[in-house]
Every structure is written in C-alpha cells, then in structure tokens.
Amino acid sequence: MKKSDPDLDPDDWAELRALGHRMLDDAFDGLETLRERPVWQRLPPRLRAEFREKLPHQGQPAAEAYADYLRLVAPYATGNTHPRFMGWVHGGGTAPGMLAEMLAGALNANLGGRDHAPIEVERQVIAWAAEMLGLPAECSGLLVTGTSLANFIGVLVARCAALGAACRRSGLGAAPLTAYASTAAHACIPRALDMCGLGSEALRRIATGPAGRIDLAALEAAIARDRAAGNRPFLVIGTAGTVDIGAVDDLASLAALCRREGLWFHVDGAFGAMLALSEKHRPLLAGIEAADSVAFDFHKWAQVPYDAGCILVRDSAAHRAAFAQPAPYLQGETRGLAGGQPWPCDFGPDLSRGFRALKVWLTLKIFGAGRLGEVVERTIELAHLLAGRIDAEPALERMAPVALNIVCFRFVAAADPGVDLDALNAAIVADLQEGGIAAPSTTRIRGRLAIRAAIVNHRTRSADIEALVEAVLRIGKARAAAAA
C-alpha cells in the first residue's frame, strides 16, 4: 500500500475503520450461524496451493488481504466452535472471548514485566485460579500457551526444588531423579521429562485400576523399588481428567503419599481442573488443593479462546528460583515503568509475553464462575445422555465408563464376523468429519479402536448428541452392508 506518511498507520482511517466494522460483523455472523455450516471441511488442494506464495514485498489493500482471509482461511478452520465438534478435548470459544482478543490486540501489551495494569489483570486471573482450586492466595502462576507448557514448567520447578538452584548452572550431571505418573497420563508428561534433560525413561508409568485411576499400591511399590536401586524419586504427577476416558486420579491419596515420601506433587488438570467451577462435581478434585503445582487450561472446558494455559505453584520462591535470571537491561526499579516486581518473566521461560490474561479475565467477569460451571455440568449430562443412547442400541458398544464428559464407543453390528471393526470405526469417524456432520476423534482402549466423543463445547445440545448417534448408525450400517 502506497502511503504518504512513513508510519504504518492508515492513510485513510475512516476507510480502515469501515473495514474493521465489516470484519467484526462478519465474525459475529459466523458465530451466529455456526449450526448452518459443516463442522469441518478440508482445505481444497487448489486453495492450499495459494499458501505457497513468495514473501510479498509490495503490500496490497487491506480489503483485498481480508478477502483472501474470507476465501482461504475462515471456512477451513478446525471447527471447534461448532456444537457438533466432539474431537479430542477442544473448547468452543465465546463471542466475548473474541472481543477480548481484539481489545488485547489494540493495547499490544507486553506482559514480560514492568509496571502496568495488564500485569495486574494476569495477577488477578492467577489469584482467581488459586481461589477456584483451593490453593493459597500467595501462590504464583503464569498464563502460558497450554497445559503442555504448564506441565513442563511444573516439572522444571520440581527438578530445581529437588536438586537446588545450582543445577541451573552445573546441569544435571548423573542425577538419578525419577518421576511417576499413570499409564493414562498425557503424552506431554514424558516429553516434559525429556525436555528437562532427565529423559522420558525417568518417568515411571504406573498401571491404572479399572476406573482408569492410578494404582496407588503399584505407585508405592515403584517408589520403593527406585529407592532400593539408588534412584531418587522426586515427583508424582496426578491427572485430573485423563485424556482418553476422563478419569480423575485419587488426588487426596496422592497428596498424602507425596507428603509421606517427601515428593513434589504436580497435578495435570488440563480440562478436569475446571470441575472446580461446579459445586456438584468439585468433590472429584479433593486433594488438588494440596498440590505443589497444578497445570490446566482455560481454553478447554472454560471456553476461553486459544491459547490460554495456566500453571500455579504453591511455593512462589521455589517457582522463581527455577527461572529468575538477572540481566542489566531488565533491572527492576522501585519507581517508574521499571517497577512492579516481581515480573512474570522470572517465573517461566518467556520474556516477551502477550496479553492472554485479558480474554480470561473478561470471560470470568462476564460469565462468572457460575455460568461456566453450568457448562461443565451440562456437558457431563450430555455425555451421560450419549452413553445411555449407546447402551440402549444393540448396534453400538460402549468401551469405557463415563467418568466425566468423554464417551468411548464403537459400531459393532457387522453381519460378517470377519469385518475389521477397527478399520470400520475409523472409516465412520473419517466419514463423519469429511461429511461435515460431526467431528468425534478416535482412541484405542485395550488395543481396540474406539470412537471418542468429548463433549466440551458450551453450544452442544441434546439434538447434536442425537445427530451423532443417528449418523454413526447410518454410516456404520451402510459400510457394513457394502463390506458383506
């Protein structure tokens, strides 16, 4: 775009403002009419090819670039805003969350440090999170990309607490640290052990009982075995809401065990920690308030737009000791903009940090913990509705107990006993997704492929559950008949 002033502000503010209003109207229209569109559609190859262009040296009018966005990007997103998106564990986002993203963009605040109100917004959000989970008000925390990074930070703080801050200079040497989590723990947990230099084999995977919760006796035995072998147990990671079936480990017993054994107790509550928003389901989390650190997401069950993960650490001094790094140009002061210590950059790996906190703050202010808790309750009810439909339908088999909001099942009514049910159900899921009908995902339960419906989206209703069941039966029967 040619322009008389050298800065990047528009030559014609009125023109860009009008375009901005149109963008906002289009975005609202998109949210209001979600149900009329496919859940997901694949980006066609001819459009995908347009993402292979060379770096533009000459700009183009904003309206033209926006037209490209409308044509190439908006129709082909993940689909997790849609009420029939049930894949993985994705939050649905909200209209106020969308507006908060826009406001944050206008401020362009950097929350690495310094003395400004956006950091107070983040501190408020961290204090609310601690209050929600029953952790002390003095605990420290950060908003990060997601629970993967939050878990990594938890592991790093635990490692530093076990070895002393000197390990940040001298490295790990041959420290034989060992950590423990159930076999149902998320894949980012072994990766956190890997990334922190201990290696993923330092994580002992403990068997789960029939309800998918960590087997406490097996855990104690593994710790004793490691001690006897000269290893140094330092960390137990409990899961609140396993990613496959939504099981919540017995956090109170894990907390007691960690206290007895002198181990750091970290909880991965990626989505399950949001049970705290519901009076009815909060008791499932009993013991989380005794954790040394908790990682969870606001972008899943709490419906804040991506991305918004959170780490809370009970002992803020231990948290800071794991990350603080003095640098002359980051010198804090008692006056002026360089005041406001302690700074968020001393509690995690990022220096520059965006204003994620605004969308969380506004979401909590606008909906209140109460309305978000109702969403948690309703999605759990819908999961039980789905489980009931499956149990009443001979062509379908439920494959796991419904602990929370995740239902694993599959189509089993193939007349030919030789039919590969894994392949058949994988094909059903792909058909549902490619047809834009619904987007469940798949998992494996005791070696068998399951259709996995995680009901997370606040827009999902009972009619959407019915539509999923009806489509699975229709596609399953057609495919089974064609294969016979």
Ligand X SMILES: *Cc1c(COP(=O)(O)O)cnc(C)c1O
Does 244 help bind ligand X (rule: CB under 6 A)? no
Structure-derived torsion over alpha carbons of residues 367, 368, 373, 374, reported in degrees to the nearest 10: -50
Q: Are 315 and 141 in contact (CB under 8 A)?
A: no
Total residues at interface with ligand X (CB under 6 A): 14
For 464-476, letters b (16+ CB in 10 Å) and e give bbebbbebbbebb
For residue 124, give the nearest of 374, 375, 362 by alpha carbon.
Answer: 362
Q: From CA 35, how far away is CA 33, in angstroms rounded?
A: 6
99 close to 474: Cβ distance less than 8 angstroms: no
Q: Do 142 and 313 form a contact (C-beta atoms < 8 A)?
A: no
Q: What does R_g of the chain's alpha carbons equal in angstroms?
A: 24
Q: In this chain, which stretch among 109-117, 267-275, 348-356, 469-477 interacts with ligand X, using CB under 6 A? A: 267-275
Determine if 239 is a binding residue for ligand X (CB under 6 A). yes
H or E, element range at 411 = strand 406-411
Task: Please identify, using beta-carbon distances, which residue of 267 and 421 lies nearer to ligand X.
Answer: 267
Residue 249 as a binder of ligand X (CB under 6 A): the answer is: no
Verify binding: residue 268, ligand X, rule CB under 6 A: yes
| Contact pattern for ligand X over residues 465 through 484, marking x by CB under 6 A | --------------------
Closest CB to ligand X among 148 and 278? 148
The neighbour count for residue 171, using CB atoms within 10 Å, is 10
CA distances from 30 to 48, 79, 158 (A): 22, 12, 44
With contacts defined by CB under 6 A, name the span among 74-82, 174-182, 210-218, 238-246 that binds ligand X: 238-246
Query: H or E stretch including 332?
Result: none
CB of 133 to ligand X, least distance (A): 15
Interacting residue with ligand X among 122, 297, 346, 464 (CB under 6 A): 297
**145 to 184, contacts with ligand X by CB under 6 A?**
146-148
Instruction: Tell whether residue 443 is a contact of ligand X (CB under 6 A).
Output: no
Task: Establish if 141 lies at the interface with ligand X (CB under 6 A).
Answer: no
Q: What phi, psi does 468 have (nearest 5°)?
A: -65, -50
Binding to ligand X by CB under 6 A, coded x per residue (else -) over 65-94, reads: ------------------------x-----
**Judged by CB under 6 A, does residue 114 bind ligand X?**
no
**Which of 234, 264, 271, 301 is close enough to bind ligand X by CB under 6 A?**
271
Q: Which residues bind ligand X (CB under 6 A)?
A: 89, 146-148, 186, 188, 239, 241, 243, 268, 270-271, 297, 309
